[in-house]
Amino acid sequence: MDALEVVEILVFPGLTFFVWLAFVFEWLDRKTTARMQGRIGPMLAGPRGILQPVADFFKLTSKEEIVPQFSDKLVFEWGPPFFFAAPAIGTIFIPVVGLNAIVSSPYDLLFILFVLAFSTLMAGMLGYASAGRFSTISIGRLVLQYASFEIPLLLAIVSPAVAAGNLSISGIVQAQSNFHWFVFVVPIGFAVFIVSSLAELEKPPFDIPDAKTEIAAGWMTEFSARPLAYVKLTESLSYVFLSALAASLFLGGTAGPVLTNVTILQDGIYLAYFLIKVFAIGFAIFAIKTALARVRINQAANLFWTVLTPLSLLQLGIVILLR
């Protein structure tokens, strides 16, 4: 591994880039949601409040850390960085400039699935470690929700892979150049993916594990200061990660419809395509989550098992037949 690769992984287009993207995403989320609800949203830190998430992060890190008496101290204090690591590692498999990601292997998607499962597992561990009543209930809901959305999510991720005949994300992106986007090939898979990612992200209508009017902050209730800052950052990073994943798997990622073969600024154009698609998916998720009420856990499980799982199976069948 040479120095350039280290810079790529840690700075651009790797970790640092995605963390900043996460901050921007959180700001966009707050701002658009606010505007759709008739409010202003963040407005003080930076131009139009764009630095508000950053300010929140640093403010949280500087606060006093309260560790509950009966918590599992080791997991409680050291879990959040691991929780953060899950989506952070996932992002390096996603092509941001050029059609190849920094790291690319023939088995990318398997690793991505592991990352998604690991992040839920970490959330569960963190919640149990904090040993609160709200956390315990929340973990029950989290696990049930995970059990229901995982299958549709998995099948939805697999269908573009089948369409491309490739398990590597870079390979899937390359298969979509020349405007051969998989959203037209596997539209149902795309829809299922978006709905399942709402559940993975714990956003309405599936913000059941941290439903604030029922169980306070759910599994995050006992967290404060630095661990909370990490947890919050991880949430926005997962947001970006899943949007980037959706963009890469279904919308062609860095591959654009036009301007695919100019010599100058080719990397810039790739990056621009990527960002446009990620933000487009982001806006779609913002809109959906703003427009819906939270469902009950049994209703969510019902929806995933009786509607989305058959749909994603159907999609997979269609894709296999078409190939």
Partner 1 sequence: MVENDASEDSKKGMKVGGALGEMFRTAFQRPITKKYPFGAAQVAERFRGKLDIDPVKCTGCGVCEAVCPASVIQMVHTGTRKVGTREIETKRPTFDLYTCISCGQCVDDCRFEALRLTHEFELATVDKKSLVMDKALKVVN
Partner 2 sequence: MSDKGNNSPISGEEGSAKREVSAGLMQYSPENLMPFGPVHPALHEPEYFKLILEGEVIVDAIPRIGFVHRGIERAAQDRTWIKNIYLFERICGICSFAHSLSYVQAIEGILQFEVPKRARYIRVIVAELERIHSHMLWLGLVGYWTGFDTLFMWIWKDREHVLDLIEAITGNRVHKSYNTISGVRKDLPENISEPIKREMAYIQDRIRYYRDLVSREETLVVRTRGIGKIDAETARKLCPVGPLLRSTGIARDVRTEDPYAAYDEIVPEVKTSSQGDVASLLTLRADEVLESCRLILLALEKMPSGPTKLTAPRSVPKGENAFHVEAPRGELFYYIRSPGGITPERVKIRTPTMANVLTATSMLKGYTLADVPVVLTGMDPCFGCMDRISVFEVDKEKQWSVRGEDLRQYGISHYKTKKL
Tell me which residues touch partner 2 (CB under 8 A): 33, 36-39, 133, 137, 140-141, 204-205, 207-208, 211-216, 290-300, 302-303, 306-307
| Minimum CB–partner distance for residue 36 and partner 1 (Å) | 4
Q: How far apart are CA 102 and CA 92, in angstroms?
A: 6
| Minimum CB–partner distance for residue 288 and partner 1 (Å) | 7
Q: Is 280 in the site for partner 1 (CB under 8 A)?
A: no
Q: Is 35 in the site for partner 1 (CB under 8 A)?
A: yes
Q: Smallest Cα–Cα separation from 118: which of 200, 57, 194, 199?
A: 200
Q: Is 296 in the site for partner 1 (CB under 8 A)?
A: no
Q: Smallest Cα–Cα separation from 289: which of 213, 208, 221?
A: 208
Q: Choose the one of partner 2, partner 1, none that binds residue 40, judging by a C-beta under 5 to 8 angstroms depending on kind.
A: partner 1
Candidate residues 188, 292, 313, 318; the one interacting with partner 1 per rule CB under 8 A: 292
Closer by beta carbon to partner 2, 203 or else 277 = 203
Contact 297, 196 (CB under 8 A): no
Closer by beta carbon to partner 1, 39 or else 133 = 39
Q: Is 66 in the site for partner 1 (CB under 8 A)?
A: no
| Minimum CB–partner distance for residue 318 and partner 1 (Å) | 24
Q: Is 47 in the site for partner 1 (CB under 8 A)?
A: no
The tokens for 96 are 């941001």
The tokens for 136 are 């315990």
Candidate residues 1, 2, 38, 213; the one interacting with partner 1 per rule CB under 8 A: 38
Respond yes or no on whether the N-terminal peptide bond of residue 204 is cis (omega within 30° of 0): no
| Minimum CB–partner distance for residue 233 and partner 2 (Å) | 22
The tokens for 184 are 């037209």
Contact 222, 130 (CB under 8 A): yes
Widest Cα–Cα separation across the chain: 61
Q: Is 191 in the site for partner 1 (CB under 8 A)?
A: no
Burial 112-121 (b: 16+ CB within 10 A, else e): bbebbebbbb
Closer by beta carbon to partner 1, 53 or else 205 = 205
